[in-house]
Chains A and B, each alone.
Chain A
Amino acid sequence: MIAYAPYLILLLPLLAAVSIRLFLYPFPRISVSVSTLACLGSFMGSMALLFWGSSLGQGIVPALPWIEWGGFRANFGILGDPLARGMAALVSGVAFLVHLYSIGYLEKDPCRSRFFAELSLFVFSMLGIVLADNLISMFIFWELVGLSSYLLIGFWVERPAAGAAANKAFLVNRIGDFGFILGILGAWALFGSVTFADLPGRAAASSPGWAVTAVGLGLFCGCLGKSAQFPLHVWLPDSMEGPTPVSSLLHAATMVVAGVYMLVRVLPILEMSQATMMTIAWIGGWMTLLPALLACQQNDIKRILAYSTLSEIAYMVMAVGLGVAGPAMYHLTTHAFFKCLLFLAAGSVIHGCHDEQDIWKMGGLGKRMPFTAFVTILGTLALCGIPPLSGFWSKDAIFAATAHHPGLAAVSMGAGFFTSFFMLRMILVAFGGEPKNDAARHAHEGSIFLTAPMALLAVLTLVGGLLPVESYLHFQHPEAHETWTLWISLLVALAGFVPAYFLYRQATKDPISIPVLREKFYVDEIYQRVFVSPQDAFARLTDAFEGWVVRGFLVRGSGVVARASGQGLRLVQCGQVQIYAAVFILGVFLLLGWLWRQG
């Protein structure tokens, strides 16, 4: 019986979500503690599994028989390999910190029972993705994660933008999921199994061909949607309409990297086709650069971070495309720490400034919120890959993998330049200079619930590079480590700070910054020519894509289909029973005509 205990990791958050929704809904304080304690329980369970799981050995958790229809068979089991155990600990740990943070962040919200129920649902489904031992059950949790993301983005129901963003996220994800399910079906058809344990063997036994490429690309589609990669990335910036803890947990640290985790799981399939791997690597490569460019012109603090998230996930995708799963998972781990930290800090700023998100209306927060400023800088340094912070080690591992692909190295290192640029811009504008309005002037640090999680994450960000990742990721730092990638990437990243410093140091001093900017006209000119126009063009392109494909085709398209089918119905479904009879008889004649042709 004790062998079934690991299922508790999954069940606790589910029980919390259900009990809150059914019974505890009117008692926010109890709901909050139940949800948080459930998450803590999951975390402790995951830690126990992480440390002692290896002595139990793999496959010790018995699988529950699940679907057996026809020739189809799938179990519902928990995966016990180090990767899953490490990831589960990471997810539940970060989730627990975000739970704590949310207690402070939403202390005045009357609907926080609903929030915590949905958060618990998310933790349940995310852990489900991580621990799933086959593609079918992973897909189910994949959808549940999509559902909880939808609910959480739209948490503030009174904001129309939140509803729109939730819808957009859901719809765009459906496109990816469509490819994903086709990929799963294809994998089942090709290899006869959807269990992760079987896949490497089955894949090695089968021959490569277009079908394998198609299956790989289908599975990658799922990643495109969930991890917000081009061309399905449009939902992530909008999802920032949700509460900040949600952005931090779902849209930075855990959910959006589920796509990368899934790619690592199906890597044996992907590796069979060079075309698939190159597609993944190049989409990842370009996606490191483009969002970084976009972020340079954002004014909303959360959107800046959202674009940076797009860019960082792209590093992981690129690493998977290059066939190095270890560095991808390593970066996933460190990214979870420092990006979660950055978002929580942003939330703290927003909370402190009374729901102000525009960095140009903040300013001077460094003095009023010294702790938040400190952790933001720490997170930024980690994000930019400055040693000895955690981000440096993981990014370096990825850059080392690009050593033999100069093109990818160039794009991804270029992205590092802009990352440094916009992060410093954000810090200088928001934390430096003088306050721009009363809200910023009266900004203050939040309660212990806000600061404590940040402090913990800051420590993790600091020492994340020392984590014994090799043991659970099975990856060594590449033996033939070509140091040029290390030095160039570091130099480029540091170079990114320089223009930002010169551009925005001045801008923060004076709230009416336009004349000051005009004095440094030629710098702006270069900046405009080199960065903004392509970026505008890109923005226009993505906007056109969004406008035509997402809004036009999906949202309005469904309306058009509805109207058209309504019109079509009016012709037949006119209420006249004799028309129905005529259609019926016509149907009979059609059928008999078919028979006549056949027989």
Chain B
Amino acid sequence: MIRWFCPEVLLVLTGVTLILADALIPPGKKEWLPRLSILLGIALFIFTIWQSGQPMPEVWANLFVTDGLSLVFKPFFVLCLVGVTLISVRYPMGREEVVRTEFLALPFFSTAGLCLLASARDFLAIFVALELVAISLYLLAAFHRSRAASLEAGMKLLVMGGLSTGFLVMGIAWLYATAGSTEFSRIILEQAGRPASPALLFAVGLILTGLAFKIAAVPFHAWAPDVYEGAPTPITAFLAIASKAAGFVLLLRIFCLGAFALDSVGWVFRPILLTMGIATVTLGTLAALPQRNLKRYLAYSGIAHAGYMLLALGTWGESGMGTVAGYLWAYLLATFPVFIFVQELERVHGNADMRHLDGLAQRDPGPALGLTLCFLSMAGLPPLLGFSAKLSVFTALWSAGEIPGLVVGVIMAVVGLGFYLVPIRAMYWEREPDVVPAQRFPSFLVWILLLAGAAQLILGFQPRPLVRLVEKSLAPMVSGNLQGK
């Protein structure tokens, strides 16, 4: 009985409950709804973790599978949801206060889509789940209707997302035309041991396009900085972390484990992923240098991180896959706290300009310390977690003999240090602005920031727990659910 209550079902039920509650409860008595949504989110997170330890049916009607990857990444997505809800309740919506509940409920639907993605093993299921994620996000990005920037962000996300959906569906159509099925196991059976036909490569290329859009890989990245800047900050965080992670989980599943884990396909797509990775790392790093808006800055930083993960993915080996899975957690831990802070900055100043960081260390040393640790971890400075993540990307590249990728990656890591130091310098060495807003950082957020910073340090010194998680996420897949029991 309990097995039917998988996270996806509960997430959708929670979302519906929230919306119904909003509709049924008379206005003026809903102050507890935001708090309820946080509590429900946390409860779901605990439930997901608990359930990942339970025996589960492995295959659901050939559409979904429960394996290491999905068991590890469903909690990841729900954790993102909890974080987003936590800061959504503090998002300064202004006049639209009335419809806030939808702002809280929609991420639940989107997360349900993400969880479905984590275990989908059929391209049609992937398509539906992706759209469940994407459509909620279009709406959320444009949610702050009184701000032109938010609407513009929603519009851009919609147009670019629609475009990528078009390519994805076209790819699926061609997949039917060549392989006769969209089910991973059937494709594998059909295609194994044969040279890949041009039509199959065409289909894979189109599908890759749709996923490259999700992870904002060059040249499919152009939407990201604009949308990140314009969208409400909780949604930016969701896009930057959860949605990007979903793209990588899909890439892992499709190219390394599932449908196209074929030598004939890999031989062609490996250099493509590596080239894309090199371009993405380079552009993300160089473009981040002149940024002065923290949200755009994080967008480019996220693009650069996606590039490192693509490089690891392009090594096509088990260590590369493990690296991607571990890197995603490191990325979540380092980036999310910064988004929390960015939103507080916006609450006080109305925008996320980097000059608001000036002299922060003097007036608020706690958040400054936490942020510094996060930025240094993103920069990949030892002994923080980000260093281990980058190091394992480089070792994967080295052992796969991908020297061009390694060289570019190392150079960009050094250049990147330059731009990650910019906010740190502003916090510690710039003078405080003359007009200091009276508003202080709420203490529970300070503790979250400090905890995240401490986590970077501890996991940097002792990445064992993370390594075990990564091993768990890869173990069952390697042993062969390829054949689709």
Contact = CB atoms under 8 A, between A and B. Distances in A.
A69 B392 contact: yes
Contact of A189 (B212, B398, B418): B398
Contact of A163 (B220, B429, B461): B429
A575 B155 CA distance: 12
Interface string A558-599: 100111011011001101010111011111101110111011
Nearest to B381: A143
Given A185-B394, A599-B268, A68 B467 contact: yes
A70 B399 CA distance: 10
A72 interface: yes
B163 interface: yes
Interface string A502-524: 00000000000000000000000
Nearest to B279: A587
A598 B160 CA distance: 28
A598 B268 contact: yes
Contacts of A591: 205, 208-209, 272
26 contacts: A64-B462, A67-B388, A70-B399, A72-B392, A181-B410, A185-B394, A185-B398, A558-B289, A558-B415, A561-B289, A562-B289, A565-B289, A569-B287, A573-B225, A573-B287, A577-B155, A577-B160, A577-B226, A588-B167, A588-B205, A590-B219, A591-B205, A591-B209, A591-B272, A595-B198, A599-B198
B286 A587 contact: no
A63 interface: no
B383 A569 contact: no
Cβ-closest 3 pairs across A and B: A70-B319, A587-B219, A140-B382
B396 A70 contact: yes
B442 interface: no
B384 to A, nearest CB: 9
B206 interface: yes
Given A67-B463, A577-B156, A580-B156, A21 B369 contact: yes
A140 B205 CA distance: 41
A139 B383 CA distance: 9
Contacts of B209: 587-588, 591
> At the interface, is chain A mostly helix, strand, loop or mixed?
helix
A592 B205 contact: yes
Contacts of A590: 219
A377 B202 CA distance: 81
A121 to B, nearest CB: 13
Interface residues of A, number: 56
Given A65-B464, A69-B467, A565-B287, A584 B383 contact: no
A592 B209 CA distance: 10
Given A25-B365, A577-B160, A66 B220 contact: no
Given A69-B395, A573-B287, A584-B213, 17 more contacts: A65-B464, A69-B392, A70-B396, A72-B391, A76-B461, A143-B382, A185-B394, A562-B289, A565-B286, A575-B226, A577-B160, A587-B209, A588-B205, A591-B208, A595-B202, A595-B205, A599-B201
A140 B387 CA distance: 9
Nearest to B156: A577
Contacts of B467: 68-69
B226 A154 contact: no
Contacts of B225: 573
A595 B326 contact: no
A144 B163 contact: no
Contacts of B392: 69-70, 72
Interface in B341-366: 365
B372 to A, nearest CB: 11
A174 B383 CA distance: 16
Interface in A53-80: 64-72, 76
A197 B470 CA distance: 30
B16 interface: no
Interface string A135-170: 000011001100100000010010000010000000
Interface in B391-412: 391-392, 394-396, 398-399, 410
Contact of B417 (A174, A580, A595): A174
A545 interface: no
B191 interface: no
A178 interface: yes
Contact of B219 (A147, A568, A586, A599): A586
Contacts of B212: 587
A592 B163 CA distance: 16
A207 to B, nearest CB: 21
Interface in B155-173: 155-156, 159-160, 163-164, 167
A21 B381 CA distance: 20
Given A178-B414, A584-B160, A70 B395 contact: yes
B282 to A, nearest CB: 10
A45 B241 CA distance: 46
B323 interface: yes
A223 B197 CA distance: 55
B132 interface: no
B223 interface: yes
A569 B164 CA distance: 22
Interface of A: 21-22, 25, 64-72, 76, 139-140, 143-144, 147, 154, 157, 163, 174, 178, 181-182, 185, 189, 558, 561-563, 565-566, 568-569, 572-573, 575, 577, 579-581, 583-588, 590-592, 594-596, 598-599
Nearest to A586: B219
Contacts of A584: 160, 163-164, 213, 219-220, 222
B196 interface: yes
Contacts of A572: 222
Contacts of A181: 410
B465 interface: no
Most chain B beta-carbon contacts within 10 A, residue among A139, A189, A583:
A583
B159 A581 contact: yes
A133 to B, nearest CB: 15
Most chain B beta-carbon contacts within 10 A, residue among A67, A563, A581:
A67
A583 B394 CA distance: 30
A595 B275 CA distance: 13
A577 B206 contact: no
B272 A599 contact: no
A576 B419 CA distance: 26
Contacts of A561: 286, 289, 415
Nearest to B283: A565
Given A189-B398, A566-B290, A584-B160, A69 B463 contact: yes
A583 B219 contact: yes
Interface string B266-291: 00100010000000000000110110
A181 to B, nearest CB: 8
Contacts of B159: 577, 581
B367 interface: no
B247 interface: no
Contact of B160 (A67, A562, A575, A580): A580
Contacts of B383: 140, 144
Interface in B309-344: 318-319, 322-323, 326
Contacts of A144: 382-383
